[in-house]
Amino acid sequence: MNVESKGKKGTVRTLGILTGGGDCPGLNAVIRAVVLTAEREGIRVQGIQNAFSGLIHNQFTELDSSKMDHLLQYGGTILGSSNRDNPFQFMMTIDGERRPVDVSETVMTNFRKSGLDGLIAIGGDGTLKITHRLFQKGLPAICVPKSIDNDLLATDVTFGFDTAVGVATEAIDRIRTTAESHGRLMVVEVMGRNAGWIALFSGLAGGADVILIPEIPFSIDAIVANIRVDRSAGKNFSIIVVAEGAFSKNGDVAVKKIVDDPTEPRRLGGIGNVIGNLLEEKTDIETRVTVLGHIQRGGIPSTYDRNLSTRFGVHAARCAINGEFGQLVALQKGRIKTVPMADAAEGQRLVSPDNDFVQVARSIGISFGDET
């Protein structure tokens, strides 16, 4: 069913909005922008709580301008979020056994009964794919991209990335002073499951000696060689920034645990400690590991992320008001535009080994652990 052809300006009276996937600085700014834009056009906005779980369990809350004060500077999401409630693979216990069940028809039924005329879903690649499948079933929807990993192919930048990079860079700056004071190797593990943008940008900005990203498999011997060159030149410490999804040429990603989630059962983590232990063993230099983890997701959004989130929210609301469903809001070459969800749902925006930032880093002596 082609929902986009149904939409006409003036037919939308109530919009639903949800936040899916991991939390991210800027989510509340999008919600605020959608509500304020819609309200000026006389359109109501219903918040759907806890991502798609809210459409499965009928969890709605009225949103209006009186609830939007101070949201710009708040991280997280006032609607709650989840990355485990995919309606096409919803985990249920049946006859004592946990297994995934397709409850997408329940979502469609609840949406129709709710009186909503359109949905704005804010999230990353998982949310985008789910929303696109619901759109194909007839649900009028628009997607707004968010990801601290900056890994969505259709947009040049996702909000949340700038804040995460700023947090990681500040952490590297702070770790540098203690590394220099004690003459240590300091390994800083940042987020980045498949894409190394956070590690690349924060490592470059923080003056790292080594940056390890999923797109460039590393050799521990190459890292050791780089450290020894620095030591012979009189430098008494080294900073190694590693994305959680980085892996060696002879190994696999480090998996912290396996969870009951058919969409994403592997939870990555631990590569920093693996590298730290190997480096200390091979160099006999005292090594410390810092895992930033969810610190990168929380806190006050940066100015850039607040403004980008607001631009995304306003554009999404305008598209919904005009009945332009089936679209993803994106930033391309500095302008906010829309692209069909069908075109955006596949593929990830990864760091190319010949990316300009990678080449700049190499030019000033930063190693990616792949030297022969």
Active site residues per annotation:
149
Q: Is 73 helix (H, G, I), strand (E, B) or coil?
A: helix
Q: What's the CA gap between 48 and 18, in Å, rounded?
A: 5
Question: Residue 16, SS3?
Answer: strand
Cβ–Cβ under 8 Å, residues 192 and 198: yes
147 touches 23 (CB < 8 A): no
Pairing of strands 238-243, 210-212: parallel
User: Residue for token digits 């592997």?
Assistant: 266
Give strand pairing partners of 115: none
Amino acid (one-letter) located at 182: H
The Cα-based distances of 53 to 19, 131, 214, 295 in angstroms read 11, 13, 31, 25
Q: Is the Cβ–Cβ distance between 125 and 146 less than 8 Å?
A: no
In the block, which residue shows the tokens 């030019």? 363
Residues 6+ apart with CB under 8 A from 271: 189, 212, 242, 243, 244, 245, 246, 247, 253, 254
Q: Cβ-count burial of 40 within 10 angstroms (0-12 exposed, 13-18 middle, 19+ buried)?
A: exposed
DSSP assigned state of 295? G
